[in-house]
Chains A and B, each alone.
Chain A
Amino acid sequence: MKYLILGNGVAGVTAAETIRQFDPAGDITMIGDESFPPYSRPMISLLLEGSISSDKLPIRSSGFYDEFKIQPVLGHRVTGIDIANRTVTTGRATYGFDKLLIATGADPRPVKTDGLTLGNISYMRTQAHVRTMLEGLDGARRALVLGGGLVGFKAAYGLLRRGLDVTMLIRSGYPLSMQVDREAGMMIRDELVRHGLDVRVDLEALAFEGNGTVEAALLSDGSRLPCDMVVIGKGVLPALSFVPHDRIKIDLGIVVDAHMETSVSGIFAAGDVAEYVDIARNTPWVNAIWPEAVSQGRIAGTNMAGRRVAYRGSLSRNVIRIFDMDIMAGGVVNPPPDALYKTTVYKNPQRKIYRKLVFQGDALVGMVMVNDIEQGGVLLSTIQSRTPLTIPREALIDLGLNYGRLLWRSVAVV
């Protein structure tokens, strides 16, 4: 059996390991456009921050490919799939397959701004991006970050920790507007501002100016912001330009079923490039987060190796530590004003603790926690399993929450 995996990220790596676990003999080839061995993408922000060195990034040992008998093809980007002949081409070479996994991840959403080619302007998606940023860090005093989402947020935090003055341009009133609600978002914003971040709302960068490297940005309110480093974090788009749209069903991402299989039999997709049902939203969605890539890679690999297992769906979730504040959130955190959703809130201002739970009937569909986050996984897993919660909501939200409370009335004394 010839297995071909497009992508060298954690979805592809996990799929390859899973396939090898079930199929000791099959051929496994992995094609990745980055030349680095598989690494932890979320950790590149720590590289920027300076809290880790680049040798901490790899997620597998140097002997990984040999150990799992995988043929790696690194530094090559796939340009097309020939479904009829079951081949994939990188423009340099062609590779045949029996089973194909598309795990090519996502690329930064491009912006159209004048002066984008000036030095020290970068997206932050790859290890290469951050290494280039680090080269420009010496002598940099003032950074501009476009976007208040996960990438922009992490970039701003990392650069603040490096001692730069940082200005962040965001559209909503608070950062991480897709991850948290207004209350938590304002707590996060206040914590960042307390540590020196300059947050500006409803402003766009219209152009960048400079001589070789960036020196200033022209903003949409007419002002000119001097800056010598720019990071663009305006979201990511699934990397699927090489996928034949007429044969493989595509929405925002590559649409897959519960077996991570696309509309073409024998072709699978997993990770940031794939789209399946979101458990909390109950609608097709792309949840481009690390733990999803791992789970989906594992399910895809299992199915590719011939074992039919079903994926229950993805769930958006994130955990972040900044300065003295910890945040964990997932699912539907900003429910529409609909009688179907019931919200419970707990606040402890002295300890800066905030919790919000969003219910749909008896099932939890969303949660936000600021500080005291250790029990967050208990709540998130009930969202994933769609467990109806039959205990009082106060028992679920207060600081004494622990797994044992979920079993009340279920533990029979025999």
Chain B
Amino acid sequence: MKQVVVQPERCVGCMQCMPACATVHSRTGQLYTAVMETPLPKPRVHVGAGLTGEGFPNRCRHCDPAPCMMACLPGAIFRDGKFDTVLIDPDKCINCASCAMTCPFGVIRYHLDTFAPPGKTVAVKCDNCIVRQENGQVPACVEACMSGALTFEEPSVAMKRKTDAVTRSVSAGMEKEAQPPGFVLLNAVRKSQVELRTAKIEALNR
């Protein structure tokens, strides 16, 4: 079964996955009108800033077993068998944040939401765009991603691609695969600044 696969090293930090996600989780479904809705639709994927300003697209992994599902006090978190997706029932949610306490990835947010009872702050996280998948569409974040950091494929296909890339990288005589131009320069200065600072702190800590 196809799943969303994340290759964080390909993320350029454009953050287009975020408004795309928020828009498909709005009442009107269009960006122009979504930004005017109350409550304001919010993304379920979160591009975190790394130490050098690089992007990291952080979304729910739909873990099995899911720590959030085990931690949930009212039993509001459950698994949809058809799409192997972990979902939160906003009606049962009591906003206790036990799920955030247990999520190793920090992907759960708490806010008012289009799909929650009005006025009720609830836990919100990625739902694998099940509604879109039912309609034969790919998840919104994947559709928005132009750099290939988010793809929708069979995990075995993605893993084979990675295995091949690792193999090539250690094969004698193979040329190093060219990266898209500019990628190396991206954050290069900040990277070296952080490296220098870290080396200095480590030396002091010793």
A-side residues, CB < 8 A to B, are 14, 40, 42-43, 46, 51-52, 56, 59-60, 290-291, 294-295, 298, 317-319, 321, 326, 328, 330, 373-378, 380-381, 391-392, 395, 400-405, 407-408, 411-414
CB nearest to A413 among chain B residues: B9
Is B117 part of the contact surface with A, judged by Cβ < 8 Å?
no
Give Cα A60 to B52, complex, Å: 46
Contact between A291 and B48 (Cβ–Cβ < 8 Å)?
Answer: no
Contact between B74 and A319 (Cβ–Cβ < 8 Å)?
Answer: no
Contact between B97 and A321 (Cβ–Cβ < 8 Å)?
Answer: yes
Q: How far is the CB of B41 from chain A (nearest CB, A)?
A: 18
Contact between A391 and B75 (Cβ–Cβ < 8 Å)?
Answer: no
- The segment from B20-28, B30-38, B99-107, B130-138 found at the interface with A is B99-107
Is B156 part of the contact surface with A, judged by Cβ < 8 Å?
no
Give Cα A56 to B100, complex, Å: 21
Contact between B9 and A411 (Cβ–Cβ < 8 Å)?
Answer: yes
19 more contacts with CB within 8 A, not counting A374-B110, A403-B107, are A40-B74, A40-B75, A56-B92, A291-B98, A295-B70, A321-B97, A328-B97, A328-B100, A375-B100, A377-B102, A378-B104, A403-B48, A403-B104, A404-B58, A405-B50, A405-B56, A414-B162, A414-B165, A414-B169
Is B12 part of the contact surface with A, judged by Cβ < 8 Å?
no
Is B8 part of the contact surface with A, judged by Cβ < 8 Å?
yes
Of residues 61 through 106 on chain B, the ones whose CB sits less than 8 Å from some CB of chain A are: 65, 67, 70-71, 73-75, 92, 94-106
Contact between B201 and A392 (Cβ–Cβ < 8 Å)?
Answer: yes
Interface of B is mostly: mixed
**Choice from B92, B101, B110 contacting A291 with Cβ under 8 Å:** B101
21 pairs of residues in contact across A and B, judged by CB atoms under 8 Å: A42-B96, A52-B94, A290-B73, A294-B71, A295-B70, A319-B97, A374-B106, A374-B110, A375-B100, A377-B101, A381-B104, A402-B49, A403-B58, A403-B106, A404-B8, A404-B49, A404-B55, A407-B8, A413-B9, A414-B165, A414-B177
Contact between A376 and B101 (Cβ–Cβ < 8 Å)?
Answer: yes
Given A56-B74, A291-B70, A395-B51, also A414-B8 (CB < 8 A): no
| Interface pairs A-B: 4 shortest CB-CB | A404-B56, A402-B48, A381-B104, A377-B103
Give Cα A374 to B107, complex, Å: 8
Give Cα A364 to B60, complex, Å: 24
CB nearest to B48 among chain A residues: A402
B-side residues, CB < 8 A to A, are 8-9, 46, 48-52, 54-56, 58, 65, 67, 70-71, 73-75, 92, 94-110, 162, 165-166, 169, 177, 179, 197-198, 201
Q: Which residues of B contact A391 (CB under 8 A)?
A: 51, 198
Max chain B C-beta neighbours (<10 A), residue from A56, A59, A402: A402
Given A319-B97, A374-B110, A404-B56, also A291-B71 (CB < 8 A): yes
CB nearest to B101 among chain A residues: A319
CB nearest to B98 among chain A residues: A319
Contact between A414 and B166 (Cβ–Cβ < 8 Å)?
Answer: yes
Contact between A290 and B98 (Cβ–Cβ < 8 Å)?
Answer: yes
Q: Which residues of B contact A377 (CB under 8 A)?
A: 67, 99-106, 108
CB nearest to A380 among chain B residues: B101
Q: Which residues of B contact A51 (CB under 8 A)?
A: 94
Contact between A413 and B73 (Cβ–Cβ < 8 Å)?
Answer: no
CB nearest to A41 among chain B residues: B73
Q: How far is the CB of B25 from chain A (nearest CB, A)?
A: 18
Give Cα A414 to B8, complex, Å: 12
Contact between B106 and A402 (Cβ–Cβ < 8 Å)?
Answer: yes
Give Cα A59 to B104, complex, Å: 24
Contact between B56 and A402 (Cβ–Cβ < 8 Å)?
Answer: yes
Give Cα A373 to B96, complex, Å: 12
Give Cα A413 to B197, complex, Å: 23
Give Cα A413 to B74, complex, Å: 42
Q: Which residues of B contact A294 (CB under 8 A)?
A: 70-71
